[in-house]
Each structure stands twice: as structure tokens, then as C-alpha cells.
Structure 1
Amino acid sequence: MITREKIRISLYSFNSKILEEACKKIFSIISPIINSENIKGPIPLPTRKRIYCVLRSPHVDKDSREQFEIRRYKRIIDIYPESSQTLDTFLKIELPPGVSFNVKIYSNNSI
């Protein structure tokens, strides 16, 4: 029976430059441990853009409005680890402030 694990790392940020910096930092630390064939990504996902429309005046002038937007950038990195040391190494990485992440571990058991 062959067990194949996959670690999926989802990175989120409101600043695209900080997000790219975090991806490079992850690759620089994990690439000596794992072959580059076992790392997929960073895969860019669509940017979520939320627009808020606010009235400028508190009383009159409904025609005068102001718009604000928030962009949320997202990247996914898939890692196929050869040992459990990979996850321990990743959890010790300090990412720049402003980057949040989720880690999911998938396991396939096949005969």
C-alpha cells in the first residue's frame, strides 16, 4: 500500500509584494529539504476585490459619493513531502506581518 501525502499551504494578504516575498521565503527554506519536482506553486488565485460606496455628505447631496476598495491576494503552494520533517520546518518559518496562511494535509491511500 502506497501512502501519498500532500500539504496545501494557502497564503493570503492585502499587499501583493509582501505575499510574493513570503512565497520566496518559503521556497528558499523548503527547497533544500525537498526536490523541486515535489513542490507545485505558487499558484496565483483570482484577486478578490470588495468595493464600498459611502456618501460624502451626512445630510444632503446624494450624488456625491466616495468609493473605497480592498483587494485580497491569494496564492497556493502544494508540497508532496518525503518525511515529516517538512511540516516541522514549515511551522518554524516566520512570515512577514500582513500575511496569513492555512495549512491542510491530505492523505491518499492506494493499493
Structure 2
Amino acid sequence: MQSQKIRIRLKAFDYRLIDQSSMEIVETAKRTGAVVRGPVPLPTRIERFDVLRSPHVNKTSRDQFEIRTHLRLMDIMDPTDKTVDALMKLDLPAGVDVEIKL
């Protein structure tokens, strides 16, 4: 029989929020007796935008903006019912996107 696994993928713009959230998830899972693999930092996605400063002339003058998306991946091996309940009740910050696959 294959063991069960919960895969959690976190996504956020602020690395401090994502690290704090991943530590909360790891502590919760370990407290309920599950084995945690991770958090594994995935490559940061950097999106860059170039915008003209002037609305009319000066094409060579531009502003550059970037948005960084930080990702973390965690696997919870052999979760118990307690683990699933504790993870569902966990309150994470609003700036963190959580994807859970069973």
C-alpha cells in the first residue's frame, strides 16, 4: 500500500511572510505526529516592467519596476486525521497563497 502524502505549495511577494507561514505549518504538523519534508525554496519568479517616464517624448528615459514571487514547497508524509484538522484550522497571513494537493 502506498503511503499518503499532502503537498503544500506556498506563494507570496514577501519572503518574511512565507517563511513565517511555512514554520507555522511545520510546527503544526510535527505537533500532531506527522513527518514533514521541507520547506524547499523553489526559484523566485521575477517579473520586470519598463515604463516610459514621460507621456510624450524622451523615449530613452524609463522607470523599471519588478515584482518577486517567492515559492516554498512542503510534503507532509502519512498525515493523521489530527494533522488534517489542525492544518485546516491554521490561520495564515493574508499575503500568502496556499495550494494543497492530497
In the superposition, the TM-score normalised over structure 2's length comes to: 0.94
Equivalent positions of 1:1-111 (< 5 A) are 2-35=1-34, 38-105=35-102
Q: 2:48, 2:72 → 1: CA distance? A: 21
RMSD of equivalent CA atoms? 1.1
Per-residue CA shift, 1:35-92, capped at 9, x if unaligned? 4xx2100000000000000000000000100000000000001001242322221111
* 8 Å CA contact retained: 2:38, 2:74: yes
Residue identity matched to 1:15: D
> Structure 2 stretches of 5 or more lacking a match?
none
* 8 Å CA contact retained: 1:34, 1:81: no
Q: Percent identity?
A: 39
Residue identity matched to 1:34: G
